[in-house]
Amino acid sequence: MIAEAAHEIGLDGLTLRAVADRLGVSIAALYHHVSGKEDLLRLAAEESTRAVPLPVDEGQHWAQWLCDWAHYNHDVFAAQPGLLEQYMGGAVALQDVVRNLDRILDVLAREGFEVRDANAAYSLVSSCAIGAVVGEHWEAAAAHQDGEFATAFRRVVAAAPRGELSRVRQLAKSKRPSRRDSLDRRIDIVLKGIAAEYGLTWQPVTHPPAR
């Protein structure tokens, strides 16, 4: 119940008082179950990772399996802005990470990967997905005065002296893909690169809908 309440409040505004109030108990009562705010953040972080369903092994092609995990990693960290910081601080239990990794590597080994190559491939798509989350958070912060990043981007480009930023001006005039389309495209490029690197057959993947 504490973990669920902490997840519902969100990592950014999480305090012992907020959780106690939501559960209708005293802060002293919480201390029977958690040692302090850091412990509370750990519980909330672990609960956040469980809020998005894990990919299911249905005998899919290796590229689809990696695509599913890339989107899982993206959606978990995109749902809770504070989760990435907690993850980097070790808040997500190592045993949970290791257990998931074994499932991932097992499917890739079945599909013809050496274990080291399978781990490298998963690390690559995970980095792509989590990097996209970092970029999305940065864009949201950079656009706070303009409402959206595209507007802020065009404003900064327009303010630059003529003759400067010629390539960026071309970019500003082009149609900006949605965040999800951009993520899907990046994952496709990474998966095609993995296929080329390891001499594997490529099969187009189906990207899940945005959460």
pLDDT (mean) for 122-133: 95
Question: Which of 50-54, 135-139, 187-191 holds the top average pLDDT?
Answer: 187-191
- CATH number assigned to the domain covering 54-198: 1.10.357.10
> Residue 92 pLDDT > 90, yes or no?
no
Alpha helices by DSSP H, 24-165: 27-30, 37-50, 62-79, 83-88, 94-110, 115-142, 149-159
Name the phi and psi angles at 37, rounded to 5.
-65, -40
The predicted structure's pLDDT at residue 11: 65
Give the Cα separation of 132 and 138 in Å (integer): 10
The predicted structure's pLDDT at residue 64: 97
Cβ count near 30 (within 10 Å): 20
Give the Cα separation of 92 and 133 in Å (integer): 17
Domain ranges of the chain: 1-51, 54-198
Instruction: Decide if domain 1-51 falls under CATH 1.20.144.10.
Output: no
> Residue 95 pLDDT > 90, yes or no?
no
Q: Indicate the range of 33-37, 46-50, 80-84 predicted with least confidence.
A: 46-50
- Amino acid identity, residue 18? A
pLDDT level of residue 193 (50, 70, 90 thresholds): very high
Q: Token digits for 120?
A: 């490298």
Whether residue 64 contacts residue 187, with contact meaning beta carbons closer than 8 Å, is answered with: no
pLDDT (mean) for 10-32: 81
